[in-house]
Amino acid sequence: MSTDQVRLERRAAQRFELHLPVSVRLPQTACEGCGSTQNLSARGALFHTDLQMAEADAMEITLVMPSMITLADSMRVRCRGKVLRVLSSAQGRGSVVAVQVEKYEYLAETTAALSSRMSALHEHPHEAPRSSAHRTIEPTAPRP
């Protein structure tokens, strides 16, 4: 077998092909922009953006991490890290940026959304009892 036929996976964390909207910020210049992910892992991300970046730049991306990754509810996360590579986008505008994530910050929900979810977990004696077969669940307000 040749080396072309056998490729070892050198990544330390599983990558998820996810196309999610992100907000991007460069703390050293306070420049902000937006983009979308191509893939994510616990240690990094590859995303498309129109924001100008260079290798080794400190950066932050904020996104809603889906439940398939958190294994719980979807939640807003701010990832801080540094730019590893910047490539020209195949579409001709913007860049494809590879980042190494160094720190995660889970962002709190709005008080109203959290209160609504917590309220659904408790009995409400002032309300008429509902049969479990016909229980309705009210949607919560979208997260900011």
Four-way CATH pick for 21-106: 3.40.109.10, 1.10.10.10, 2.40.10.220, 2.60.40.1120? 2.40.10.220
Question: What is the reported pLDDT for 108?
Answer: 84
- Distance separating alpha carbons of residues 122 and 27, to the nearest angstrom: 42
Confidence class for position 6, pLDDT limits 50, 70, 90: low
pLDDT of 85 > 70? The answer is yes
Domain coordinates in residue numbering, the chain: 21-106
Q: Which residue has the tokens 């992100």?
A: 22
Higher pLDDT, 136 or 36: 36
Question: What is the reported pLDDT for 75?
Answer: 92
pTM of the model: 0.66
Proportion of the chain above pLDDT 70, given as a percent: 67
Contacts (Cβ under 8 Å, ≥6 apart) of 33: 23, 24, 25, 49, 50, 51
In the predicted model, what is the mean pLDDT of residues 67-92?
89
| Distance of alpha carbon 140 from the chain centroid | 20
In the predicted model, what is the mean pLDDT of residues 21-26?
96
